[in-house]
Amino acid sequence: MNYFPLGATLLINAPKIAEKTEGGILKSDAMLQEERMSWDGTVQVIAAGPDCKHISAGMTILLQTNAIMHPVLIEEKEYLQVEEYSVLGYYL
């Protein structure tokens, strides 16, 4: 991957939310939004900017569920970029 976040930002995997039910029915926008709101905030860090003091690539972190997330499309895969201050903690 040739993408490097700047400052105190983190590149994380986007939470996986299925767009269809197990039976193959497309979910409504309201259902998708409800699932996004019920997400627990746990994600894997892909890359960390040079100013990140406590978080590094490869860590599993807990984000604020209301964190501001910026979508980033890299090599046709969707990631999210967030500020380090949105991290509540990390798992060992």
Per-residue pLDDT of the chain (92 residues; tens, 9 = 90+): 789 999 999 999 887 777 888 888 888 888 877 777 777 888 999 999 999 999 999 999 999 878 898 999 999 898 999 999 999 999 98
pTM passes above 0.95: no
pLDDT of residue 20: 85
What kind of fold does domain 9-91 have according to CATH?
10 Kd Chaperonin, Protein Cpn10; Chain O (2.30.33)
| 3-class SS string, the chain | CCCCCCCCEEEEECCCCCCECCCCCECCHHHHHHHHHCCCCEEEEEEECCCCCCCCCCCEEEECCCCCCEEEEECCEEEEEEEHHHEEEEEC
